[in-house]
Structure 1
Amino acid sequence: MVHFAPGAMPYDSQAILFKEVKNFIHRYMELPADFEEIASLYVLLSWVYEFAPSIPYLRVIGDWGTGKTRFLQIVGSVCFRPMFASGATTPSPIFRILEQFRGTLVLDEADFKDSSAWTEMVKLLNNGYRPGMPVLRADKENGKWFPRGYQVFGPKLLSTRFPFSDEALESRCLTSEMMPLTRDDIPRVLPASFDKEVGTLRSKLLTFRLHNLCRLKGKTFGNELLEPNLQPRLQEILIPMKAMLNGDHAMAEALGSFVRRLQESLYTRRRESDAGRVLAAMIELHRENKELSLKNIALSASAMDEEEAPFNPEKAGWLTRRLGFQKEKGSSTRRRVVCWDQGRIESLIKQYGLALDTPVSVIKPFTPFEPFETASDSPKGSSGDEKPFAEKTGNSTDLASDGPKGLETTEKPFEKPFNREPEREAKGLKGSKGSVGNTASCHQPEGTT
């Protein structure tokens, strides 16, 4: 079922409209304080998403009874042309309805059990975060088959019980873990006035779309929207969200911190993978100036996590090849050892969140979704005292309005520095002779010739 706005209704400003959406979400459900603001911002973004070069997906994760369906019902109801579906739906009607209505896909229980359906859904979601990436299908007309492309770009709200196994899809989601309800003021059953509230907000958001979409199309995104020390994929999904802030520094910092936690959770998954443990084992053996034999790598990688199945040399050899390393016979032994490629190592440690100058054998477990302060506990809450989007009296705060607060202002709203430690360059490796360049060299123990 696709929902449309009943009509157009005037709104005061973008800042006040953002506050109304936020209060609406806060009234009917409980979210972490920062994710409540992100969800409110995502609602506004969904109504003008066509201007963005890419768009993230908004996802909640949790067990049954934690409010995942309520989240989709509340937030999805005020998004642009919401199309509600469930995990029991096959991918075929989904990309066809996305092509026809170009709205927001609201997908509940997106943990597809059937492997073939899951493969198709992953392709659809991986293609749908940026324009110009259609899903190609062959449709039958009058007994003949014809190729056809279906446009699946657009905002999407998802709920799952577990993280996605596909890392590329996982990196496209702004995710929050749902926790059991703690507030007593939230109605367990939606009141009769809910539909009227939804209709009023949709009408105001439709006017917001009409005022801003045409002006936003064709806008360029400067480097001032980039976040330092962030992976390119996460930069890509963060830029359209930042473009909607209209100079709100506090919200920009909160959004940046949220995406950094997402990046650390992705790093953790990579470090805990088999390839990540093998890479960490190689770095540790090189630091200790030990031979990079497959046996040593397997033993070191197995010691990093005793709960996992131990590595054998064959598996370690397969993973080193997958990581792009070569093997050669040692000059003093007949065993094949892995060649240490400094350039390859420096590239991989950025992808896996590792470091050359700190121990990697003991890694503190990381919780991808740490408990956040809820919106009810936050001083922001829904009190209405905050000034989202740098609201000022007497001036319009529309996203595309002309003047000092528009997107083309000479002021750089996001140039407030982040107090973060600068990246340290990889230090020289203990026990190595001279400097190590980008050329591959076979690592052998001391005393060999």
Structure 2
Amino acid sequence: MDEAKEMQTPIEPLSLAVERSGRGDTVTVIARLADDELHRDKLDLNRADARSKFARAINKLVPRFTPVEVDSQLLKLLADLERTRERENSDEPKAEHGEELDAMEMTRPELIIRRDYSAIVVPRLMKTRNGPDGIWTLYAKSNAKRSASELEPSIIVGEQVLHVSPMPYPPTVSDASELCRWSQASREAWTSGKVAPTTDEAITAVMERLDRFIELPTDPADGEAGSIGHAATLSLWVLLSYCYPVFPAVPYLYLAGPAGSGKTRTMDLIGRMVFRPMFSSNTTAANVFRSLHARGGTLLLDEAERLKDDRSPDVGEITSILLSGYRRGGRANRLEPSGDTFRSVSFDVFAPKLLACIRGLPPALSSRCITVRLSRASTGSPRAGRSLDESPADDQAVRDLLHCWMLEHAAKLIDTPPPASTLANRDAERWEPLFRIASLSSDPSLLDFVIGHAARQIETDHEDSTPEADPALLAALHQLVATTPRITPGDVLETAKDIDPDAFEDGWNARRVSVVLRRYGLRTSRSHGKRLYRMNASDVAVVAKRYGYEIDEAETGVPQTPVPQTEEAF
């Protein structure tokens, strides 16, 4: 098993870069493996002995890179330096710059939405003598006019000129098969004016697919509506994936539930309908930010439990990207090679994202999510027994409908005001895009229903946004400080495990307890070489109440004296 896994692991190539650090060809050469620096040294690339010394050093660190291979790469660097020097010393006139471009007139290519203008870019394969040739085609609706034309670097929208960035490379066959999710027949029907779906038709089509394959849990708070609140939420989020550039922030969708509750099945079904899905369960940060920047679309991340592993640098990087990508303009900044040096490059990571896992998400990420809690289907459920592959034509019909819906209705969302609701702050920000899409329905009761469902869901969201172990740690500290004079973080951990043993997986230790409780302003002080908590139970109870955790002071027998809620502890 280990050998097979190792064989499947991609072998990272050796990357060499130079920084000028002296006269002539004396430079600093930096060797990297993926994002890790292996070795650096200052040398004259013209000298064979200097190159040989550097190559032997690399071979000693990573034996699979032979000295001959490394020397060959060093010679290529030398050739690149010589060409760069020739260009710098050339008398040829430098290229002249044209007129300045307005940064506000830049647009990404995949979904373009302006007032009275909407466009989707689709990869198409065209037959040529030399085989299939890919082109990007812009399907647009400007006022009442529909058109299809090849994507150009600049697009005229009324009296405005939009400049496409990043301008995509010509699509490959795999690009077309993966990203062309709008059928040719539907495109031709829409262009000729035969198709104009309503928002009601789009929502109904998605809800019918969900109802056929997924048994969503019944929410008693919704009364007779049962699971319709969840179905409406999922359906509106699918529509959101086709118009997300309109909104300043895009809510993530979090599928929560125990093993066997249908999270992966639900994700698979939603992935068949959303705009440009990108599935992943074990990806790298570089793959996430490069793919989102290059193609846009919707990220679907299964088995997201590993995002809680705050000790992994790569996981931390992915989490940072997810946090940044919640708002329009969210970027991942990285250093990229540029000639003989590096420059900072920004990657656009703003996009809808669906996350699924069992044990919950980090708090900051959970606060950006709309949560749908799934449960196991009832025994003999016809929905759970149906194959998702039973009707590919129906899947395609829904995608066709959603592409047409976007072109017909997305521009209206720009001037659609946020509906009145009782939500505020981040809660309002998360749900507002779904409310605005729902308001395009001809049935006003849909919006009222979704607003009510959102309010009821938010009441239970706190449980998912809370780190699983935190309530047990606070309860343990509250219990101990009322009865024990000298409490260490290790004591708190052992008591917390008794309170909620399922909240503590392997890897918990006293230091980690100290870090968690410090986030709540509960710090230790040193006494005789030990870290001890010195506070009273009422102090802990005040902190717990402030964060919405329930602690009953009467259980410890401590008098419930009011404590001023100051911020000094924080």
TM-score, scaled to structure 1: 0.64
Distance 1:438 1:107 in 2: 40
Contact 1:294 1:313 in 2 (8 A): no
Matched, 1:254 2:447: no
**Which position in structure 2 is the counterpart of 1:16?**
201
1:323 is displaced (CA, Å) by 3.0
Pair 1:242–1:276, CA change in 2 (3 A): farther
> Which has a greater percent of strand?
2
Pair 1:256–1:142, CA change in 2 (3 A): same
**Which position in structure 2 is the counterpart of 1:2?**
179
1:97 is displaced (CA, Å) by 1.5
Instruction: For structure 1, list consecutive stretches of 5 or more residues without a partner in the other structure.
Output: 329-334, 363-428, 443-449
Matched, 1:227 2:420: no
Distance 1:76 1:20 in 2: 15
Distance 1:441 1:66 in 2: 44
**Paired-residue identity, %:** 22
1:23 is displaced (CA, Å) by 0.5
The equivalent position to 1:184 in structure 2, one of 376, 382, 400, is 382
Matched, 1:70 2:265: yes
Whichever residue aligns with residue 243 of structure 1, its letter is R
Matched, 1:245 2:442: no
Distance 2:364 2:517 in 1: 22
1:359 is displaced (CA, Å) by 4.2
Contact 1:271 1:353 in 2 (8 A): no
Matched, 1:149 2:346: yes
RMSD across aligned positions (CA)? 4.3
The equivalent position to 1:137 in structure 2, one of 328, 334, 343, is 334
TM-score, scaled to structure 2: 0.52
Distance 2:468 2:514 in 1: 21
**Which position in structure 2 is the counterpart of 1:92?**
286
Distance 1:440 1:167 in 2: 21
**Which position in structure 1 is the counterpart of 2:143?**
none
1:163 is displaced (CA, Å) by 2.0
The equivalent position to 1:120 in structure 2, one of 300, 317, 323, is 317
The equivalent position to 1:352 in structure 2, one of 530, 548, 555, is 548
Whichever residue aligns with residue 381 of structure 2, its letter is R
Q: How many residues are matched?
A: 352
Q: Deviations over 1:106-134 (max 9, x none)?
A: 23333449933322221121112111221
Distance 1:104 1:336 in 2: 46
Contact 2:257 2:357 in 1 (8 A): yes
Matched, 1:50 2:227: no
Higher relative contact order (CA 8 A, sep 6+): 1
Between structure 1 and structure 2, the one with the greater Rg is 2
**Which position in structure 2 is the counterpart of 1:110?**
304
Contact 1:294 1:316 in 2 (8 A): no
Distance 1:199 1:15 in 2: 18
Q: Secondary structure at the match of 2:393?
A: helix
1:24 is displaced (CA, Å) by 1.4
Pair 1:317–1:262, CA change in 2 (3 A): closer
1:139 is displaced (CA, Å) by 1.7
Instruction: For structure 2, list consecutive stretches of 5 or more residues without a partner in the other structure.
Output: 1-177, 218-226, 526-531
Matched, 1:30 2:195: no
Q: Secondary structure at the match of 1:244?
A: helix
**Which position in structure 2 is the counterpart of 1:59?**
254
1:305 is displaced (CA, Å) by 6.0
Whichever residue aligns with residue 25 of structure 1, its letter is L
Distance 2:566 2:458 in 1: 35
**Which position in structure 2 is the counterpart of 1:391?**
none
1:18 is displaced (CA, Å) by 1.0
Contact 1:354 1:360 in 2 (8 A): no
> Which has a greater percent of helix?
2
The equivalent position to 1:306 in structure 2, one of 490, 498, 505, is 498
Matched, 1:81 2:276: yes
The equivalent position to 1:168 in structure 2, one of 339, 351, 364, is 364
